[in-house]
Structure 1
Amino acid sequence: MSSINQDPEQIARDKIDQMLREAGWMVQSKNKVDLYANIGVSVREYQTDVGPADYVLFVNQKPVGIIEAKREEEGHRLIAVEEQSTGYAQAKLKYLDNDPLSFVYESTGTITRFTDHRDPKPRGRNVFSFHKPETMAEWLKKGKSLRERLQSIPELNTTGLRPAQIVAINNLEHSFKKNRPKALIQMATGAGKTFTAATFVYRLLKHADAKRILFLVDTKNLGEQAEQEFMTFQPNDDNRKFTELYNVQRLTSSYIASDSQVCISTIQRLYSILKGEELDESAELANPEENSWMQQQISKKKAMPVEYTPKVPIEQFDFIVIDEAHRSIYNLWKQVLDYFDAFLIGLTATPDKRTFGFFNENVVSQYTYEESVTDGVNVPYDVYTIETEISQKGAVIESGWFVDRRDKLTRAKRWQQEDEDTEYKRNDLDKKVVNPSQIRNIIREYKRALKTTIFPNRIDANGDYEVPKTLVFAKTDSHADDIIKIIREEFDEGNDFCKKVTYKIEEDPKSLLNRFRNNYNPRIAVTVDMIATGTDVKPLEVLLFMRDVKSINYFEQMKGRGTRTISSDALREVSATATSKTHFVIVDAVGATKSKKTDSRPLERKPTVAMKDLLGAITMGVADEDLFLSLANRLIRLEKQITDKEKDKLLDYTGGKNLKQITKELITAYDVDAIETKAQLAIDKLCTDGVLSVSDISPAIREEAKAKAQQELVREASKTFNGELNDYLDNVRKQHEQIIDSINIDTVTKSEWDTTSEDKAKETVQNFTAYLEANKDEIKALSIYYNQPYNRRDITFKMIKEVMEKLQMDKPTLAPEMVWNAYATLEEVKSTQPKDELTALVSLIRRACGIDSELKAYDKTIDENFRNWIFKQNAGQHNRFNQEQLDWLRMIKDHVVSSYHIEMDDLDYTPFDAKGGKGKMYQLFGKEMNGIINELNEILAA
């Protein structure tokens, strides 16, 4: 039946009826009540002594709760309805002398809130749907609510727990007692996150009588590790293993055992269960943001939302523990967590801004890698740097040379003579060009440095050198193959010595990983991403970076592979010549430890999907954020690769749009700010045209406008693509083969230990100070700072810019950001670094030449000097300046913050001209005007 002309409240009632039936309730009208017809009965419009309640819930013929129904457009004010719904819950029902009802809902059929009035401080929360009547019967049988039972959890027995684990568990349980729905435990990799989780899971089952707890992971590998942890876990107050006390089930199908108290599952599997779909097992191999399974989703016009699943009700789990919570819980996958009415506990070593936001900034414990090293929980690391000529500078393949060209995908080679010079940079290596000599020189130097410097005393009983367990990070599968081939040759070893560990290998990756962890061979493993995060290989002693990493989180996770402690005996089982694991070594062959890192999310969400499939899906009208962002990422890369001639040809297929425009449209289609801006413009136009008045603009109208705006942006981005353009883009991409440069021979230019961060900081500060002193007679601003401090009032923006430009030319490594960070490493810097680079430079110069005894942001210094000056003026002469004069003085101060000095002529320009310029200032200050300007220049620069 069409709902266009239906009463909005009736539409909500119909939705609520449907939700109730799905959750196992029988819905009855007040005139046809039969409380024996079902375990759970919901009666509409039941009379109370304060009026009819929209729905009264009966379980086993006893009233237990009420539902207050509201129209959909009232979803934003459900919290305001709580008093009304509570009034019905506390009222007397007709014919019954009932106690107040415990379970209270407010619902529009789209948004539903729930309050359990048995809780110590009843607090409403959003729920996906209604709880089952069987669940309510069980809750009432237990008497106390879960949140009340949490109040009486006994004190933690700390035997066998590390200090950081004690803090995490105590703070988490305190958070539970405060009824905080989400909590985040940040704990360094290797510090025992899963053991901590097993401990508090045990306590929740034993002392809070939790029914079932979900341990959520995003790869099958992590699920297996968690299962092992629970199987070996023995609580400190019982002689039995965890699995002897409680049933642990790792989900391998859609079946959830009714007697399982701990479920371990990937988020992918749970999503498929809630969607009623079979899960392709490959979906669990990589975390969802790098997942081949996503290819299947392309066939759908839009990723479908999860729906209520009677076999897995919203109350299936009381608590959900999310391992590696810094990834895979956003976008499509967030629905899984929103579905369940459960406390959420995140575990991660490397949270980012999204993680803090998702967990409501409720960080119950933070335990950093540095703290874990101090406590002896993890081992520290040293950095050994290997640089080669070609790694740093690239090379040139000259015209006339005969070289191999290799297809990136098939690896097929063809030999051709180059007809023009090809220059390649360091970033082109192993992408556009493969230089075997570059790889060989790194590996050869690594082998030499191992024996002489890194781990020199590893000679076995036969007099041979024993290579410590080493993990190499490669850029791609193809790069990994090149590295493995050269490692085997350079170390003069067979296949077993060095293996590739990725999800794409023919051998069982799990079996191979176990051999790497527990057996003598392989000594060296090469991976692209399988062992990059969340996988324990305790005997690892070397991480060799042959790929750079831009994500700070991913880099920290990769470093975490080497941090694990291991007993001397266990280490010697796989590395006989090792005595103990005191540290691990990062061998940096690509500058990974020095490159600038970001915590932003990568655009690429579907790295395993062929570009032609991405293009085809968008052409066919698939509207999916991951799809759009992945294609945008591919086109950004392609734009940097293709020639000007190819770019011109492209315009014939796009109606004149270049790749940058196309990319911008793809990203904008899912940009929240762009959608809101477009929606607001549409609403403004409706108001201007008289279709709407401001009072008509409800949240529902805004949401509708945003949905329409996004549809238009999606359509605008999609309509560019067509069969001809797609073929051209796919073909032009394929033309870019890898050139195998076997002619340019590489040489090692650096092979040495990296200095510690503090040593580097000292060196940076010393170099900066030395540079200023060396140039203090040559650069005017520096001359004033060092030799004529009384003339600081005369320093101008132009002078400071001169210092910056000369510094950038002479010493680009002494950028203000680098020097500021160096000071922050060496001393307590209370100020945050000014966003303006020149202001930061002034702050640093003042610190280096001794004007300031500590590093302070210069803009804050000006603000402070101004406040002090105003205070003195008012103290000496009661209210010397009126409000209009004070406003002008503040304008002058703000000008000095950005320009470091003010001249009389500046009053003719922005912002002073709009306020009347020189004439107005003279009118306000009269003959004092010149004196005040001079005084402010001197005072503010003090």
Structure 2
Amino acid sequence: MTPEQKSRQNIDTLLIKAGFIVQNRDEFDRTADRGVVVREFAMSDGSFADYLIFIDGKACGVIEAKKTGLSLSGVENQSRHYAKNLPTNVRTHMDNELPFLFESNGVEIYFTDLRDKKSRSRRIFAFYRPDFLAKILREDTLRNRILSMPSLQMANLRKCQFDAINSLENSLKNYKPRALIQMATGSGKTFTACNFIYRLIKFAGAKRVLFLVDRNNLGKQTKNEFENFHLNDENRKFSEVYITQHLNTNTIDKDAKVVITTIQRMYSMLSGDEYYDEKDEEISAYENYKSENKSERIVSYNPNIPIESFDFIVVDECHRSIYGEWRQVLEYFDAFIIGLTATPSKQTLGYFSANLVSQYPLERSIIDGINVDCEIFRIKTQISEYGNTIKKGFLVPVMDKKTRLKYYESLDENLEYQKTDLDRSVVSINQIQTILECYKNAIFTELYPEREPSFVPKTLIFAKDDNHAENITRITREVFGQGNDFCKKITYNIGNAKPEELIKAFKTDPTFRIAVTVDMIATGTDIKPLEVVIFMRDVKSSLYYEQMKGRGVRTINPNDLQTITPNAKSKDKFYLIDAVGVSESKKTISAPLERKKGISLAKILENVANGDTSDDTLSSLAGRLVRIEANISDDDKTQISKILDSKTLGQLASDILDTLDVDLTQNLNNDEIIAKKDEVLKPFNKPIFRKMLLDLSQKSKLYIDDISPDSVINAEFNKNKANEIIANFNDFINENKDEITALSIIYNKDYKNRKLTYELINELNDKLKSNNLDSFQIWNSYALVKPDKVKNNAKSIVGCLTNIIQLVKFALGFDDELREFSSIANSRFELWKGRQKNKGIIFDEKQNEFLELIKEYIISNSYLDLADIQSFLGNKGGIFKAKTLFDNFENLLIELNQALVA
């Protein structure tokens, strides 16, 4: 058979299995059955469609057939052409064109429903049944119904749940076939699922949802959650309106809206089994597969469970690696796939095409590899910490911050400034230069000693304001001995240049290494190659601080990073260079005051005088008042105090914010809140006060201290976070030493009576992650706090789960040094052999080879059971060979396990 013939034969078989009658042109009878497919049907332009589909005697679609192995996206125009050129004498379901397009090479099938508002082809496992096509011809499409779903209301949802559902629905509206929701343990993943499934059933008309769980007992819990889920818009439970079925037989209730089962039972059903034992569902598909070492589960078309059986598949605990061997079960159905997890792996993200619609919280995303964590490098200089004094009698440069006009002023008395005055009323050139020189010197010694010193890592510097950014930009170029392209300012004040173009250049241009900004790149900008964030301004809002830090957390493919930073290998963290104590200063949970950055103070004052009391306007006004007060003289403050009845601008700003505080206004009605705002804003009704504020805002004198030297007090990694991680790890051990089996064995040194298996250590690792702890982070923290006690770099422990044993032992004080498990185990192995030699037992070459394999297995898995010998060393003769080589092998294995781990 030619490839074309083989393809046509496969297509015919698939159509017949789906319930169609397949005919040649000379035997054409569109009424022969509900679903009829005719080969080589003549179109109006003289071309021939490979297959024309009839439902209830009317044409509704075409199938474009290609030879096996040919990709199909390039033939979509051909099938669309046929859909528009049906002869006028042929009855159709739609007047203009046929709605259903299929392309197939006998192995792949792609389907497009032209009625979708954003029609897009998608791969399907098999052809739909005629009954299904007849049904959807009578109604609007599922994707169109998703587009018209009503907006989600907060109701009794937590914010993270609201965000997850909202983001998921936006993903569905973009027809993305897979979406991943990450929510931390205990944040209500199943409750979130109940909410979005209810909305999809009620508002999008989903006929049925498949809810896959990892174990049968989780299925029971899920069913209980659905049955007790109260509908917000109806005073009823979900179970009173819809049927939820937890499968304990291999039969789906035709009226069920939600079907809950394990993936192994669904595989059994697709395989045609009539019975599946519930006991086989108590072990997860992931664990079962791992222990049995089976190959991929092959799925064939089952007409009793057609591909259109479910519109949505929700996969709970989808971080468990089920996609390699079980993915055909998921992809069998023509359904959107929604994953739920607290700990997404890279494989999980890959399966869901990186469509992570919800992350909660950032800490979890860092630990689980979605983002990278930061290390803090603190720089303290004399002037940064303690300020300075400019002696009287000198001519001091002064700059007008608004016009940047520079002039000189003679000091009649000493000008003493504090660190809080820096870059507000005084700029110290040497302070900025000292910080930047310290950073430059640390790049290839402290931060990236493994890199050859050619490309400075992509660096973002946060400045206090535009003038500060201007000074930093120019001094950076001087310190690094580079030109204009090396360091650029990205603020709102960059002339005719477009900030978005500069941001794009910073992302991609290898020459552009350092960007200086104030707020422009503080939030929402994704700069993956960014490896260093420098704070030369303090931030009091914890939310804003986290957003600013977040510019550095993005991961990037090593190849992509090397394109931008050729001397880099990978990005496994970013550095936060703290030059002002931002990592140490007290934070509030408030958002930034300034919400209308693009509006002038004059316009804000005009709006307030006109009666504008919106939250954004008043919050921005308060922020501007604080900034003005920070830059005015004592005489100006006295003048203000007279107008405000002894109040300062800071106190006025505080009064304004009180009117926006929900806690302070919760007992007031709307009229009372407006009255309170009007009372506080009375001074702004006076033109003289508004003019004074405008004058003061422009009266921005900036003294330039270009003669006082500065020096570095110290520059080192911040140990606060490392100590916090270690303390949390110790607390975790103390709280769980009797609850988590692996911890209990290590804590009680009970290796003789209990087996410290890989599964138990993996369970411990999962528990650590669920408590925002990660072995890599813990190891790094010990290396920072106790460098003389840590003998191996944290990178060397990646991929070997048994190193958790060493962490626990070191934390408990059982070991004086922290060394990776392989190093310890190898030493103990040699000692054990030495003890055997002292007993007169000398191993020959074959015995030593066998023992080496056992040792390597224990290093990777912490324990080798007698039952594992056959599967692990089957190619070496397995248990029979072991018993031939060694007398009393069972005791030898027990002794060796204990010798290496205990």
TM-score normalised by L of structure 2: 0.46
TM-score normalised by L of structure 1: 0.44
